[in-house]
Amino acid sequence: MRRKRERVPVESNYARYRAAEFNRTEDYPIAQNLDAARYRPSGAWMGRLILPTIQERPLVLGAWLEVHHAPEAHRALAGTRVRLRWMSTPDLNARLWGASRTVVLDENAWEAVEKGTVVAERLHGLTHVNPLESLAGAHPYDDILVRLDGPVEVDLAPRDGGPPIVTISQMPVEISAPFYALVRFLGPAEAPDMYRVVHYHAATGDFGGPEELVYIPEVIPDMNDTRNFTVAGIERSPCNEQGWYLYGAQDQQGRFVVRAVAARQLLRLNPLAVVVGTGEAMDYLRPRQWRRSVAKGQATQVLLAPDGIHPDAARAGWGEGDQALVIHIYGGIGGNKTEPAARTPLYWGHVAFGVATVIREPLAGELSFDIVYHQVYVHNTDGLASGAIHYSRYSGDRQFGWAGVRPIQDLLVKIDALSGKFTIFDAEVAALEQIRKFLEVMEARYRVADGRGATMVGALNNCSQDSAQALYVAVREVGRVIGSRADVRAEMTDTPEEARRLAALQSLGEEIRRVLLPWGSARSDWEYEAAVLGGGGSGLLDAIGDAMKSWRTMLPPVMARALAEVFLEQGATIYALRTYQVGGDDPDVEPIVPNV
């Protein structure tokens, strides 16, 4: 039963932002009239998640998807509502039904709501809430836009006679907008909030395309009176020369509304420099070098290589289709509008993992990074829902993202031991895929706090430690599978390449364990996957003991650097992508690099 509130709750940032019409995803028309030569869809399958009613739950067994875009073979589904489920395989059923929870918001959750935290109030009192429902119901409104990655299957005429069923093998990826363009800003137009841009012309390889006006209103300030992005002076930004990816959609007036931006020079595979040598690379990653290597408004991309690798070989080692583990760190907001968390001598920032894929970006016709963060993120006032989140939504979103107001570093780690595939009984398996799967489970648990309703950050249990737990468990489970079955070991070593990769994976796993658990023994909650997430669980003394066993994970930048060093020593190459409050110029904020 819902607890009766005793006072008016603090308005969340999420509620403040929704006051602006351009921030309401559901208000944009599904049918878009955009020139395909200038605008591309953000994914083959895209749509808006809708939480089923209590009466609809047995019929849907997942979430509704209002289809905004579909491949040509299923284009007729655009504008309709389909049932979204995951494929009925033993692995998916075990992981995702296993992460289902009965949700009853506890006192801490209701207190968090009163203080302006966004939790999944619509799920309160529901039994067996599955991960698709917890994502659809993460916000008070059905406004989460997603794309579907991986295999997608469609049943247009289900046996139960209900609406079509779309089944997926991966959790949906949260995105900002359904379409994107590649442009350079020319300057403001006479009409309010309109900007002149010129499109990229692939045939000539420059910004010689047609000019156009786009609608880019200033975003709503947060409760600290800080705007996450400003467009003021963006045409003078150091990133403007190579252009920007603009993510958005046409509004009811036919204007293309820019919801998110990304600097092209950050995402294209074109490093400014190659740093060779583990020692030199680690020096580049230290806080003082981060502050020296980039200025406010800039985006940089540097390739780090281990000892003995020629720069040309390091560059050539990345190609279309390659995947990399992402280690994400963000810093703080300083200046005249310093955020409360950064008003102390030490600022630790936030760490997360993810997966980056090298794609052939069609508008520029060049190799580019498609970055999906797997954010194990506590409930917060912005309404950021823990899950798989595209770069455009987590970093690039003008209203909800961080690139315009925080320094961000993404380390993209390519190492064959993780991304290389093993053939096991005619199925291809990669360790990086197992990491993604474990992160999906942790994200689903975070969205409902294992049924309590709200996860909250603390020094002893936090999102950094829980992300590290998912990484540790994934590496441990690969080792257990290898060690427990002789037939699997034989399958994973039936070629010299796979035998070498297996040996490298085992060595890498031991080093990751050493970094995350320097005292040797595993935390009890890590070893047995106990349902103890940020802000809840065991007693204080037990929590302190467990936290000290994984002390590096209490300091996100320390953990990120320690992992980077392990990967470099094992032969990885790493793209270090950095942004330093990119976009227009806001003189009231300054970037704060994590200083530990």
The CATH number covering residue 259 comes to 2.40.50
How would you class 501 by CB atoms within 10 Å of its CB: exposed for 0-12, middle for 13-18, buried for 19 or more? buried
Pick the closest to residue 322 from 575, 1, 41 (CA basis). Answer: 575
Same domain, residue pair 159 and 186: no
Q: Is residue 510 very low, low, confident or very high in pLDDT (cuts 50, 70, 90)?
A: confident
Please state the pTM of the whole predicted model.
0.93
Strand runs (DSSP E) across 117-255, as ranges? 145-147, 152-155, 165-168, 173-175, 179-188, 194-199, 211-215, 244-250
What CA–CA distance (Å, rounded) separates 454 from 112? 7
Alpha helix ranges (H) inside 405-462: 416-419, 431-448
User: Which is more confident, 508 or 119?
Assistant: 119
Same domain, residue pair 114 and 227: no
Q: Which of 44-48, 375-379, 475-479 has the lowest mean pLDDT?
A: 475-479
Other CB atoms within a 10 A radius of the CB of residue 552 amount to 20
What CA–CA distance (Å, rounded) separates 416 from 420? 5
Same domain, residue pair 32 and 166: yes
Model confidence pLDDT, tens digit, residues 189-234: 999 999 999 999 999 999 999 999 999 999 999 999 999 999 999 9
Same domain, residue pair 100 and 225: no
Task: Tell me phi and psi for residue 210, to 5 degrees.
Answer: -70, 150
What CA–CA distance (Å, rounded) separates 281 from 274? 9
Is residue 88 scored above 90 in pLDDT? Answer: yes
Task: Write down the mean pLDDT value for the chain.
Answer: 89
What CA–CA distance (Å, rounded) separates 385 from 444? 10
Question: Who's near 469: CB < 8 A, 6+ residues apart?
Answer: 442, 523, 525, 526, 529
What CA–CA distance (Å, rounded) separates 550 from 526? 10
**Total count of domains within the chain:** 3
For position 316, what pLDDT does the model report?
96
For position 472, what pLDDT does the model report?
75
Q: Which residue has the tokens 């070629």?
A: 495
Rounded to whole angstroms, what are the CA distances from 362 to 38, 200, 201, 244, 417?
10, 11, 11, 14, 30
Structure tokens at 232: 């003021």
Structure tokens at 51: 């939480």
Q: Is residue 344 very low, low, confident or very high in pLDDT (cuts 50, 70, 90)?
A: confident
Is residue 537 scored above 60 in pLDDT? Answer: no
What CA–CA distance (Å, rounded) separates 396 from 581? 11
Same domain, residue pair 91 and 144: yes
Same domain, residue pair 154 and 203: no
What CA–CA distance (Å, rounded) separates 131 from 186? 44
Same domain, residue pair 45 and 105: yes
Domain membership flag for residue 90: yes
Strand pairing of 152-155 and 165-168? Answer: antiparallel
Pick the closest to residue 227 from 75, 23, 38, 39 (CA basis). Answer: 23
Cβ distance 120 to 448 under 8 Å? yes
Domain membership flag for residue 199: yes
Q: Which of 354-363, 388-397, 471-480 has the lowest mean pLDDT?
A: 471-480
- Which residue range forms the structural domain that includes residue 160? 13-170
Structure tokens at 523: 């935390």
Question: Who's near 500: CB < 8 A, 6+ residues apart?
Answer: none
Q: Which amino acid is at 400?
A: F
Sign of the Cα torsion 127, 133, 135, 137 reads negative
Within 13 Å, how many C-alpha atoms sit on residue 368's CB side? 20
Same domain, residue pair 219 and 86: no
Last residue of a domain, one of 240, 264, 288: 264
Question: Which of 512-530 are b and which e, b meaning 16 or more Cβ less than 10 Å from the residue's Cβ?
Answer: bbebbbeeeebbebbeeee
Same domain, residue pair 34 and 93: yes
Model confidence pLDDT, tens digit, residues 540-550: 344 434 544 55
Domain membership flag for residue 247: yes
Last residue of a domain, one of 138, 170, 202: 170
Domain membership flag for residue 292: no
Domain membership flag for residue 383: no
For position 531, what pLDDT does the model report?
44
Read off the DSSP letter of residue 551. G
Cβ distance 126 to 136 under 8 Å? no
Q: Which residue has the tokens 């039994």?
A: 127
Same domain, residue pair 165 and 183: no
For position 539, what pLDDT does the model report?
45
Other CB atoms within a 10 A radius of the CB of residue 40 amount to 16
Is residue 4 scored above 50 in pLDDT? Answer: no
Alpha helix ranges (H) inside 261-336: 264-267, 278-284, 287-293, 311-316
What CA–CA distance (Å, rounded) separates 581 from 227? 11
Cβ distance 132 to 65 under 8 Å? no
Domain membership flag for residue 379: no
Read off the DSSP letter of residue 36. T
Same domain, residue pair 60 and 132: yes
Domain membership flag for residue 122: yes
Model confidence pLDDT, tens digit, residues 410-428: 999 999 989 988 777 777 7
Same domain, residue pair 134 and 250: no
How would you class 531 by CB atoms within 10 Å of its CB: exposed for 0-12, middle for 13-18, buried for 19 or more? middle
Q: Is residue 457 very low, low, confident or very high in pLDDT (cuts 50, 70, 90)?
A: low
Read off the DSSP letter of residue 554. G
Cβ distance 431 to 417 under 8 Å? yes
Task: Tell me phi and psi for residue 492, to 5 degrees.
Answer: -80, 0
E strand or H helix at 288, and its extent?
Answer: helix 287-293
Domain membership flag for residue 142: yes
Task: Tell me phi and psi for residue 582, to 5 degrees.
Answer: -85, 160
Last residue of a domain, one of 264, 299, 318: 264
What CA–CA distance (Å, rounded) separates 390 from 331? 19
